[in-house]
Amino acid sequence: MITKWPAPAKINLFLYITGRRNDGYHNLQTLFQLLDYGDTLFIENNLRGDLQLLTSLPGITEEHNLIIRAAKILRDHTKLYGILPDHSGVTFQIEKKLPIGGGLGGGSSNAATVLVALNYLWGSQFSKKNLATLGLKLGADVPLFVYGLSSFAEGIGELLTPISLSEKWYLVVYPGVKISTYQIFNDPLLTRNTPRRHMNDLLLRAYFNDCQFVARNRFYEVEKLIFWLRSYGLPILTGTGSCVCLEFYTEFFARQVLKKIPAGLQGFVAKGVNISPLYYALRKHIL
């Protein structure tokens, strides 16, 4: 039987780089807002023993395929406890809506959905904490999607404090250019010394993304998009990708601006949510 699982997007309402660590990673403070929009994974157990993604993802090699990597990590972990037969396998398909390199956490969300879904389908019964620890091996954002709560984050993004945010509407626009985390974090112009502040202080300040200057400086497409969106509000780059978001109090006004985006750009309107759609789907499967 094929089961259907959401892999929602996230946006960063603010992102501050507070220092560079000895291991090359960066410490940060960020506010993750989950959205009711994202990819959809279709999962089917098979008895062949292989893990296979039937959907082609251009530009993603098997080595960097987080869907398969997440399944392998969980399968290896379950075998340690004698939970899973050696011959068990899984076939995946994905309806991909989130652009790669857009800063919406698509790959990390896909990985988290695989961990959560297979944990249920295989009857592994690992805790969220256990799954988040496995997910951290795949990417710093994976624990966010495993826990499934909008959160304030520190460290490299893995130290999460759940927070209840006003569930506003967001216009998210992709300028057609892929930006990797490596490009942003290795740029000499990146601000790396923003003072670390208490979460309550940051929530009262105007939101900003320290990566925005680098993205605008290196990619004309991002600069052009931000300039255009300024007519409608305060645009903020999300994460270390190229997507730019704009906040609205109503869906109507967000969609009005979506209708006006320049030709050639991709955009969508989504509602911010405090609880991931993944866990509503999990609840339906359990019941």
Q: What is the pLDDT of residues 235-285, one digit of tens each?
A: 999 999 999 999 999 999 999 999 999 998 999 999 999 999 999 999 998
Per-residue pLDDT at 105 exceeds 70: yes
Structure token digits, residue 18? 């507070």
Q: Is 105 annotated as a binding residue?
A: yes
**Catalytic residue selected from 4, 10, 39, 271:** 10
Domain 1-287: which CATH class? Answer: alpha beta
The pLDDT value recorded for residue 59 is 77
- 187 is known as an active-site residue: no
The pLDDT value recorded for residue 85 is 63
Q: What is the mean pLDDT of the chain?
A: 94
What would the mean pLDDT of 110-134 be, rounded to a whole number?
Answer: 96
The pLDDT value recorded for residue 86 is 61
Q: Give this prediction's pTM.
A: 0.96
**Catalytic residue selected from 96, 128, 137, 141:** 141
The pLDDT value recorded for residue 141 is 95
The pLDDT value recorded for residue 285 is 87
User: Where in the chain are the domains?
Assistant: 1-287
Q: Is 56 annotated as a binding residue?
A: no
- 137 is known as an active-site residue: no
Please tell me what DSSP assigns to residue 33: E
Per-residue pLDDT at 83 exceeds 80: no
Q: What is the 3-state secondary structure (H, E, C) of 215-274?
A: HHHHCHHHHHHHHHHCCCCCCEECCCCCCEEEEECCHHHHHHHHCCCCCCCEEEEEEEEC
Q: How confident is the model at residue 201 (pLDDT cuts 50, 70, 90)?
A: very high
Q: Is 233 annotated as a binding residue?
A: no
Pairwise CA distance, residues 248 & 168, whole Å: 6
Q: What is the pLDDT of residues 15-67, one digit of tens each?
A: 999 999 988 889 999 999 999 999 999 999 887 888 999 998 887 877 779 99
The pLDDT value recorded for residue 79 is 84
Q: What is the pLDDT of residues 135-182, one digit of tens each?
A: 999 999 999 999 999 999 999 999 999 999 999 999 999 999 999 999
Q: State the number of CA atoms in the 13 A half-sphere of 33 facing the CB.
A: 26
Per-residue pLDDT at 88 exceeds 80: no
Collapsing DSSP to helix, strand or coil, 164 comes out as: coil
Q: Is 107 annotated as a binding residue?
A: yes
Give the type of residue at 147: Y
Q: Is 106 annotated as a binding residue?
A: yes
Q: How confident is the model at residue 193 (pLDDT cuts 50, 70, 90)?
A: very high
Q: State the number of CA atoms in the 13 A half-sphere of 234 facing the CB.
A: 6
Q: How confident is the model at residue 287 (pLDDT cuts 50, 70, 90)?
A: low
Per-residue pLDDT at 200 exceeds 90: yes
Q: Is 176 annotated as a binding residue?
A: no
